[in-house]
Amino acid sequence: MNGSPIIEGFIEAIRLIITLNPQVVEITIRSLYVSLTATFFAALIALPIGALIYFYEFRGKHAVVSTLQTLYALPTVIVGLLMFLLLSNIGPFGFLRLLYTPGGMIVTQTVLIIPLLMGLTVSALSGIDRDKRYTITALGASRFQTVTTIIMEARFAVMSGVLLGFGRAIAEVGTVMIVGGNIRGATRVLTTAIALNTSMANYSMSIALGIILLGVALGVNIALSLVQRR
């Protein structure tokens, strides 16, 4: 049916993307910036700790790994609420003035995906079977060489974990809404912009941003399958 707001919105959305509408570009760049940075810091923290959990035997190791796996599904609004309380004026980190800033969103998304990255690092390293570890030892590897060889061997599985973490960060709306506040030109990202524009019946903008978000998700998936094929 001609004149349908959905079809018109769709056509307008394509136009917004092709003409590189400044608002669309700005929101997309901010979204990528926040989530990529969060993924980077989360990987920086989670990968070494995940490796430590895997390589060291300690009491309660099993419980730690189970807890991490439970935290994979942690509701984003709960993390958002918790980080809001910590970063707000009444919280212990209020002095950092991170609330309603991209910095605060990065910190929050970092916290959100650390358990996922840590847990997936542990499983990636556990994927190196016993016989391979025996072989490494038998070839005369020192303790440190053993660790680096196992990490090298698990590199593609670890990278898959990092990509999954980025996918979770860029697609979630709960924490960025609560901690970022969806402030235009400051903390508005793809997901929060879609939520807002949809509620304002500004469908073409929502669809345009949705197509971009889907494109990013598709890109992550293509990268994942390339990595997993190795």
Nearest to other proteins of 67, 135 (CB atom)? 135
Cβ at position 124, least distance to other proteins in Å: 12
Tell me if 89 contacts other proteins by CB under 8 A: no
Nearest to other proteins of 89, 142 (CB atom)? 142
Cβ at position 147, least distance to other proteins in Å: 12
Separation of alpha carbons 107 and 198, rounded Å: 27
Tell me if 229 contacts other proteins by CB under 8 A: no
Tell me if 62 contacts other proteins by CB under 8 A: no
Q: Are 45 and 110 in contact (CB under 8 A)?
A: yes
Tell me if 59 contacts other proteins by CB under 8 A: no
HSE of 11, CA atoms in CB hemisphere, 13 A:
6
Burial-class residue 34 by CB neighbours within 10 Å (0-12, 13-18, 19+): buried
Nearest to other proteins of 14, 141 (CB atom)? 141
Cβ at position 63, least distance to other proteins in Å: 19
Distance between start and end Cα atoms, the chain: 47
Q: Are 125 and 151 in contact (CB under 8 A)?
A: yes
Which candidate, 57, 112, 149, places its Cα nearest to that of 65?
57
Nearest to other proteins of 1, 230 (CB atom)? 230
Cβ at position 47, least distance to other proteins in Å: 18
Tell me if 63 contacts other proteins by CB under 8 A: no
Cβ at position 77, least distance to other proteins in Å: 40
Which stretches within the chain are classed as H helix? 5-18, 22-55, 61-71, 76-87, 102-126, 130-138, 143-153, 155-171, 174-175, 190-199, 203-229
Residue 181 falls in which region: left (phi positive, over 0), alpha (psi -120 to 50) or beta: left
Binding mask 120-159 for other proteins (x = CB under 8 A): -----------xx-xxxxxxxxx--x---x--xx--x---
Q: Are 169 and 152 in contact (CB under 8 A)?
A: no
Nearest to other proteins of 97, 132 (CB atom)? 132
Residues 156-185 that bind other proteins (CB under 8 A): 156
Which chain residues interact with other proteins by CB under 8 A? 131-132, 134-142, 145, 149, 152-153, 156, 230
